[in-house]
Amino acid sequence: LVFDNSDQQLDIDMAEVAITRRIYRTGESEFLINKRSCRLKDIHLLLADTGLGRDSMAIIGQNRIDAILNSKP
């Protein structure tokens, strides 16, 4: 994910912020912020005050989309 941070909404001194997750065949994951290794917790902290995050309705997991589309009123 690449974010325009020219308004400095994210607490990082960069105009553009790239968040990357690499998943390996072994099942391990690697997280990066602007190509620098970090912890998942660091990403959560970076996004904490933005309204984006794991529990935010702005980001919906694929399995939730299926559940929403298949739900009945």
Total number of domains constituting the chain: 1
Each residue's pLDDT tens digit, 9-68 = 888 899 999 999 999 999 999 999 999 999 999 998 898 877 776 666 566 677 777 787
Residue 47 makes CB contacts below 8 A (sequence gap 6+) with 10, 53
pTM above 0.85, yes or no: no
Full domain range(s) for residue 57: 2-70
Tokens 């009123």 identify what position? 73
Task: Report the SS3 class of residue 28.
Answer: coil
Which neighbouring-strand residues pair with 37?
Answer: 32
Each residue's pLDDT tens digit, 2-15 = 999 999 888 889 99
CATH of the domain at 56: 3.40.50.300
CA 19 to chain centre: 7
Structural tokens at position 7: 């308004």
State the pLDDT at residue 70: 83
- The rounded distance, in Å, linking the Cα atoms of 53 and 65 is 16
